[in-house]
Structure 1
Amino acid sequence: MSNNPVQTVSTSSDKIKVALAVCAVLAGVVGFYVLAGQQTLLRAAALVGGLVVAALVLWTAEPGRNFLAFAREAVRETKKVVWPTRKEAMQITGVVFGFVVVMAIFLWGTDKLLEVVLYDLILGWK
């Protein structure tokens, strides 16, 4: 077995914990809708409570710990990305919009040319 956390085999207790976490999320969602006539704060508390219970249960299971390790690694990788400056982002956006306009004009022109060739020259409908 490799050390890759994604490839670890879940035990039956981990599967039970994941099932309990899913049930907690479902209970929170059901509670949110069952309490439709109540105050919004109470409904939100039911939903958030279900999510918190699910997170706590998942935190004790191997798949939950693996997910947290994956999330930490993803955050670490996003910090390595060199994001464009505002000026660069605006320039890239301008190039994309320009390309879209040019392609729209090209496709419109192609459509009109085919219309003339087919309807006027070949079929003689106009």
Structure 2
Amino acid sequence: MSETTKNWAIFLAAGVCVAAGVYGFYHFAESAMALRMLMVLAGLLAGAGVAYASAPGKDFLQFARESVDEGKKVAWPTRKETVQMTLIVFAFAVIMAIFLFAVDTSIGYIIQWLTKRG
């Protein structure tokens, strides 16, 4: 069996696990909602566990770990910087709204003036 066929079979099995969880959610409609949600969660976890068995699944998990490590290296802004930048963006949006309103109103008056003359 080729590696590609093996990976497709693994992903198909993972899809079946997820589908089984969703099927359980609807099939046991008379059960408590918490139990039904646990069925879906179990299906998702089982599907993720099965998908991890494939080479692309392991590559994805490695990529996710490296992404988290890179996220830790980012210089995140302080709360003060975040608030300041948010206020600047908000002020700019208000100024642009006023400017566009003035331009739109002016053009409207000009067109109205031109059409009344003709």
Same fold (TM over 0.5): yes
Which residues in structure 2 correspond to 1:28-67 (within 5 Å)? 28-67=21-60
1:10 deviation in Å? Answer: 4.9
Letter in 1 for 2:23: V
- Show CA shifts across 1:66-119 (max 9, x none): 110110011011001111100000000000000000000010000110011001
The ranges of structure 1 where at least 4 consecutive aligned residues each deviate by more than 3 angstroms after the TM superposition are none
Once residues 48 and 116 of structure 1 are traced to their aligned partners in structure 2, the CA distance between those partners, rounded to angstroms, is: 60
Residue pair 1:32, 1:46 contacting (<8 A) in 2 also: yes
Name 1:6's counterpart in structure 2: none
Counterpart AA for 1:32: F
Q: Give distance in 1, aligned partners of 2:93 and 2:78.
A: 23
For the residues of structure 1 that align with 2:4 and 2:30, how far apart are their CA atoms? 41
- Alpha-carbon RMSD across the aligned residues, in angstroms, is 1.6
Gaps of 5+ in 1: 1-8
TM-score, normalised on structure 1? 0.86
Question: Of Structure 1 and Structure 2, which has the larger fraction of its residues in helix?
Answer: 2
Distance (Å, rounded) in 2 between the aligned partners of 1:91 and 1:82: 17
How many residue pairs are counted as aligned between the two chains?
Answer: 116
Establish whether residue 123 from structure 1 lines up as the match of residue 86 from structure 2. no
Unaligned runs of 5+ in 2: none
How far 1:41 moved relative to its partner? 2.4
Identity %: 41
